[in-house]
Amino acid sequence: MKQEKNSEKPETSFDERIQASAVQFLIQENEQEAAVAFLACEFELSGWDDGFRTLYSALLRGPRWVYEVIHDEHHPTTQAIEKALNAVMPWDCAIQNILIKANLIDVEPDWKAQMLDIALGKQVHNQGIEIKNRATMIWQNLRFRSESEKRIAEALDRSGVLFLPNCLARLTTPEGRKNKEPDFVICHQGRWGILEVDGEPFHPPSRTVDDHKRDRDFYAHGIHIVLHFDAAECYQQPDRVVKQFLALLAERQ
């Protein structure tokens, strides 16, 4: 007699269901930037009873750029997330406030020497252009402007491919010689491709036409593929994104 396999799904916590439901609410409200910001954070609820109902503090931990936004209770993104959370909470519950802390970093043995060089301007991480009023994060002495980008870099590293993150390229365009900055230039099995992380503030939907024009400029120089992936997908499933990208790149002649 064959033993039946246990097909039960892993139990989802109350906090996780609330976050997922709130993110779906934000997406349905076309609040994509707020959804991406919320997805970039760890989330938990801390509650207490005020005698009439249960009140909660929403406790977040996320990248520096989200910290700067959520720390301002009057910021539209903060208000959108609070609205979404209250929309999906049980009837007798409410969000009292949203608190956020910045991410802790992975520490390497020589971290003090590395950070001292960075602080003194002695190290060049890579050539990525800094975005005004946007914090950057450092991984393996490389600079990234979002947790989604950093997670894609980590996934590419695990795959063992050659890649150049956020590096300026000098190329010919119909308007003459220009500098362009792809998110990730990747070499796999002798083929070159570009992976773009969309949905970030520097790749908003309003820039779609400009991004397509830039893609054509790269194709004109022999780049095999330029693929765009949503920032939320890159954050949640970076290994799947990288696997899909490399499979498609390998098929190109």
User: Are the C-beta atoms of 20 and 29 separated by less than 8 Å?
Assistant: no
Q: b/e for 63-74, b at 16 or more Cβ within 10 A?
A: bbbbbebbeeee
Q: b/e for 127-151, b at 16 or more Cβ within 10 A?
A: ebeeeeeeebbebeebbbbbbbbbb
- The residues, ordered by sequence, that sit 6+ positions from 155 with a Cβ below 8 Å of its Cβ are 238, 239, 241, 242
Res 206: pLDDT: 53
User: Are the C-beta atoms of 102 and 69 separated by less than 8 Å?
Assistant: no
Cα separation of 65 and 77, whole Å? Answer: 12
Q: Taking the CB of residue 162, how many other CB atoms lie within 10 A of it?
A: 10
Q: What is the DSSP string of 152-218?
A: HHHHHHHHT-EEEES--EEEEETTEEEEE--SEEEEETTEEEEEEEESSTTS-GGGHHHHHHHHHHH
Written as tens digits, the pLDDT of the chain (253 aa) is 445 555 566 688 999 999 999 999 999 999 988 998 899 899 999 999 988 899 999 999 988 888 989 999 999 999 999 999 999 999 999 999 999 999 887 777 888 887 787 677 665 555 555 554 455 677 887 888 888 899 999 999 999 999 999 888 888 988 899 888 899 999 999 999 999 998 755 555 556 677 788 889 999 999 999 999 998 899 889 999 999 999 999 988 6
pTM above 0.85, yes or no: no
Residues β-bridged to residue 214: none
> What are all long-range contacts of 71-75, with beta carbons under 8 Å and residues at least 24 apart?
71/100, 73/97, 73/98
Q: Which helix (H) or strand (E) holds 96?
A: strand 93-102
Res 1: pLDDT: 44
Cα of first residue to Cα of last residue in the chain, in angstroms, is 51
Q: Which helix (H) or strand (E) holds 249?
A: helix 238-251
Any idea how long the chain is?
253
Angle (deg, nearest 10), helices 147-159 and 238-251: 60
Domains along the sequence of the chain with CATH: 14-102 (3.30.300.20), 113-251 (3.40.1350)
Token pair belonging to 234: 């890159």
